[in-house]
Amino acid sequence: EAQVTQNPRYLITVTGKKLTVTCSQNMNHEYMSWYRQDPGLGLRQIYYSMNVEVTDKGDVPEGYKVSRKEKRNFPLILESPSPNQTSLYFCASRNGQGIFNEQFFGPGTRLTVL
């Protein structure tokens, strides 16, 4: 089944404790992206990657890092999480051949930083 998977789905952590949220897709998509969703603010892009070893900042990149060493994986790294990074996070991917190709979203990771 074509899908985007994220792990973990739920995470409660404390301020300053480094964490990684993994994202993997099995559709051989070139483009991958991370969004966060907050009440009243909607979905906002954090980082995106057009292909392996190519990443760029989205609208809200502060406090986050990403890497794209393999085509299928796009982990989101929070080196020193803070409470304002408590949010619902979504990973997405699409075929890079056409910008209008639909984006496939993962199921989400709910992160709470205490």
Partner 1 sequence: DAKTTQPNSMESNEEEPVHLPCNHSTISGTDYIHWYRQLPSQGPEYVIHGLTSNVNNRMASLAIAEDRKSSTLILHRATLRDAAVYYCILRDVYQGAQKLVFGQGTRLTINP
Residues that bind partner 1 in the complex, under the rule CB under 8 A: 4, 33, 42-45, 48, 56, 58-59, 90, 92, 99-100, 102-108
Task: Give yes or no for a cis peptide into 39 (omega within 30° of 0).
Answer: no
Task: State the nearest-atom distance from the C-beta of 90 to partner 1, in Å.
Answer: 5
Task: State the nearest-atom distance from the C-beta of 72 to partner 1, in Å.
Answer: 17
For partner 1, the closer CB: 75 or 106? 106
Task: State the nearest-atom distance from the C-beta of 92 to partner 1, in Å.
Answer: 7
